Structure 1
Amino acid sequence: MAVINVSFQVLPQVPDGNSYAVVDRAIEVVQHSGVKYEVGPMETTMEGELDELLDIVKNAQQACIDAGAKRVMTIVKIDYAPQGVTMEEKVGKYRNAPR
């Protein structure tokens, strides 16, 4: 299967309102997965095979529940092409751009 990109955003409902701490648990799942990833201010993007990336999203949702969220809404974006898709081809030219 081709290497693709999956981006996701978890929106945990947290009784105490501290959703950042719960989102951090979801990001830890990605960090420990071994896939290439980038954390952004609104979502995390990963690179790998679809089945593996979707399993990571499921595990990230469960991590939010385990961290105290009563409910987790998740937005998922998938960029698939049979020949593969990389993060570098999309954003590499912007990484060292002057600000």
Structure 2
Amino acid sequence: MHQYIVNASIQILPVVQDRHPYEWVDEAIAIIQNAGIKYEIGPFATVVEGTYEEVMKVINAVNEHLFNRHCNEWITSIQLQIRSGGDITGDEKVEKFR
């Protein structure tokens, strides 16, 4: 894949009763925060920006973390935007509203 900037929305929905779902979400956000790429936490999802490889690495790291910590079940919802001829950023998409 190219080295342009892509962006993605990542939402984790734990399907668990062993602890409050927000505790699992907090762990997922910590993985994203430590990934070294741009991110913005929202009330329903976290938006990340980086190269395709960086973004997919973060998505994989979140799922691996939940698996390794024995989260019983979760849904990962992802929206990924890629532009084949250049960068696509969240700021570009929302700057006129700020």
Interval of TM-score (by shorter of Structure 1 and Structure 2): 0.7 to 0.9
Match of 1:40 in 2: 42
Q: After the TM superposition, which parts of structure 1 deviate over 3 Å for at least 4 consecutive aligned residues?
A: 65-68
SS in 1 for 2:17: coil
Match of 2:56 in 1: 54
In 2, are the aligned partners of 1:11 and 1:73 still within 8 Å (CA)?
yes
1:89 aligns with one of 86, 89, 92:
92
Cα distance in 2 between the residues matched to 1:59 and 1:47: 15
The percent of aligned pairs where both chains have the same amino acid is 32
The two structures have a TM-score, normalised by structure 1, of 0.85
Cα distance in 2 between the residues matched to 1:64 and 1:23: 9
Provide structure 1 residue ranges, at least 5 long, that are not aligned to the other structure.
Answer: none
The two structures have a TM-score, normalised by structure 2, of 0.86
1:2 aligns with one of 1, 4, 22:
4
Report how many residues are paired. 95
In 2, are the aligned partners of 1:25 and 1:67 still within 8 Å (CA)?
no
Cα distance in 1 between the residues matched to 2:39 and 2:11: 13
CA RMSD of aligned residues (A): 1.5
Provide structure 2 residue ranges, at least 5 long, that are not aligned to the other structure.
Answer: none
Alpha-carbon displacement from aligned partner over 1:36-95 (angstroms, at most 9, x marks no partner): 000111111101011111111111122223444201211111111121101111122333
